[in-house]
């Protein structure tokens, strides 16, 4: 079965600094999703990537899918306190469900 590994598990950065979160799949990715979760709340959709080499940006967040479609990265530029939370990568899995990694917990220091 497909598994997603996220790194790092936890990240503490100073406000204003850049950061990158990685997601690696054990199998080829046909649909890769990034979600953000505030502590104790539901998941908020950020971006979806499907094609090898694809890159999407929204405000200060950029997500990329590598050419081999087995790894994705999420990059945040000039981090702000509002970026704090749990970032989850998800992947399309047989049977139409989305499977998730364990998440990366991001803390922003003022």
Partner 1 sequence: GAGVSQSPRYKVAKRGQDVALRCDPISGHVSLFWYQQALGQGPEFLTYFQNEAQLDKSGLPSDRFFAERPEGSVSTLKIQRTQQEDSAVYLCASSHRDRGRTEAFFGQGTRLTVV
What would the two tokens of residue 107 be? 């803390």
Contacts of 77 (CB under 8 A, 6+ apart): 18, 60, 61, 62
Decide whether 2 or 18 has the Cβ nearer to partner 1.
2
Beta-bridge partner residues of 99: 91
Beta-bridge partner residues of 22: 7, 73
SS3 82: helix
x-or-dash string of contact with partner 1, 43-82, rule CB under 8 A: xxx--x-x--------------------------------
Kindly indicate which of the ranges 41-49, 54-62, 64-72, 76-84 contains the residues binding partner 1, using the contact rule CB under 8 A: 41-49
Q: Which residues bind partner 1 (CB under 8 A)?
A: 30-31, 33, 35, 40-45, 48, 50, 88, 92-93, 95-103
């Amino acid at each position: 079965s497909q598994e997603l590994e996220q790194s790092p598990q936890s990240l503490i950065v100073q406000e204003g600094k850049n950061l990158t979160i990685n997601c690696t799949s054990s199998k080829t990715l046909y649909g890769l999703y990034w979600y953000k979760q505030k502590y104790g709340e539901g998941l908020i959709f950020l971006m979806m990537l499907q094609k090898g080499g694809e890159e999407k940006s929204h405000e200060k967040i950029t997500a990329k899918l590598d050419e081999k479609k087995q790894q994705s990265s999420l990059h945040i530029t000039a981090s702000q306190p509002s970026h704090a939370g749990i970032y989850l990568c998800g992947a399309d899995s047989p049977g139409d469900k989305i499977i998730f990694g364990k998440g990366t917990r991001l803390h922003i220091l003022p």
